[in-house]
Amino acid sequence: MKPVKVGLLGLGTVGTGVVRIVEGHQEDLQSQVGSPIIIEKILVQNISKLRNVSIAEGKLTEDPWDVIRNPEIDVIVEVMGGIEHTKEYILEALSLGKHVVTANKDLMALHGPEILAKAQKHRCDVMYEASVAGGIPIIRTLVEGFSSDRITKIMGIVNGTTNFILTKMSQEGASYADVLKEAQELGYAESDPTSDVEGIDAARKMTILSTLGFRVNVALDDVSAKGISSVTKDDILYAKRLGYVVKLLGIAERQDDAISISVQPTMVKHSHPIAAVNGVFNAVYVYGEAVGETMFYGPGAGELPTATSIVADLVAVVKNLKLGVNGQHGGMAYKEKKLKTDEQITSKYFMLLHVADRAGVLARITQVFAEFEVSLESVLQQPNASNPEAEIIIITHDANKAAISKVLHTFETLDVVHKVKSVYRVEG
């Protein structure tokens, strides 16, 4: 049995996990693919660095071309991160007929169509299951499990850092700043947390999921993204009182072939399964016309969960290699992209207003909603000892985004509305 040889780009946390699984599960892997899988060469930044995994002498290199242009290597596994240099390496590997497995969400979100087109041209596989939601096999599910269905909505918690922060704020009543500091100390958040907390990381993942789910080439600029840095303890408290929990959700929807994709803090009804997803865990909710509602839940990051997804992709590539069917990826986009207008994007909304505490104010506010044909599900006035102004909480029925924008713009011109404190989409 001729072994399949693998080149590994990167030996950090996830790369170490890949080595552990490939070497530790060799018997299981051979039983699935019919031949040994050998890690032939590994790119590292510093060969002399001490590592907590044993690597045979001569397998490490600091030159990427030692891996990519090695004629013995059949598959490149990329876990080094980065975009421009990594893109160059992957495109070169594909041009040499090597298959690619990557965990690089940033690369696939920004350059996925170009990379997949190159792979198709050279009849190569590109697998990227680990780029979204770590150990959850969501990409394979969208491509294969829903191949006979039409997906109408994908909604998910796809960033563990923000879910950890919002969970702590909800369960312990802590402030955003305090929980962010704790997340950094625990290693869940980077020293510069912008990508996570401002929704950029989640937006990149939703770009990938919506491209696969709707079979159109979605660009990162098509995703409307807002992070959690403005979420306050008051917002969390009011959500609780009303039977909701605040989550950073990625939401991709399709109706009549027009799509919308967003990432935003969202109030989710306590009874919805996704409301119970806490800590650093991820979950993706998929709606299909035929199957209805399904949810996929699991760890969104970590050495072994992510490495497990990578090795599963590696197994899929090797199986295709044995069957001679590489390069026939089912996830290619083939539909024309049509983005919904703001008039077509509808949902319920939560609003917290600080208003003048006098007669007639509520009537004036409801008049504004009526003017733009936004109907109201509930209106509450809550006492707040720390705020001398009146606080009004409103939850709308389904309303389009354009009408809500007009309502908010009108509130800015009313002397009775002192501040629009919070606005959130409502789900479930």
Q: Which residues are catalytic?
A: 205
Q: Give the amino acid at 49.
A: K
Q: How far apart are CA 14 and CA 24, in angstroms?
A: 15
Write down the residue that tokens 């690597």 correspond to: 55
Q: Say if residue 145 is exposed, middle or buried (CB neighbours under 10 Å; 0-12, 13-18, 19+).
A: middle
What letter would DSSP give residue 256? T
What letter would DSSP give residue 149? S
> C-alpha distances in angstroms, 418 versus 194, 243, 356, 392?
30, 26, 7, 11
As given in the structure block, the two tokens for residue 185 are 């100390």
Side-chain-side CA neighbours of 8 within 13 Å: the count stands at 27
Write down the residue that tokens 């159109």 correspond to: 216
As given in the structure block, the two tokens for residue 297 are 């839940």
As given in the structure block, the two tokens for residue 298 are 């699991």
Of the candidates 111, 298, 95, the residue with the CA atom closest to the CA atom of residue 211: 111
Q: How far apart are CA 8 and CA 19, in angstroms?
A: 9
Q: Give the amino acid at 351.
A: M
Read out DSSP for 268-320? EETTSGGGG--TTEEEEEEEETTTEEEEEEEE---HHHHHHHHHHHHHHHHHH
Write down the residue that tokens 């009543």 correspond to: 173
Neighbours of 97 (CB within 10 A): 12
Identify the three-state secondary structure at position 71: coil
Identify the three-state secondary structure at position 370: helix
As given in the structure block, the two tokens for residue 14 are 């996830």
Do the Cβ atoms of 284 and 119 come closer than 8 Å?
Answer: no
Q: How far apart are CA 49 and CA 46, in angstroms?
A: 6
As given in the structure block, the two tokens for residue 242 are 């009303």
What letter would DSSP give residue 336? P
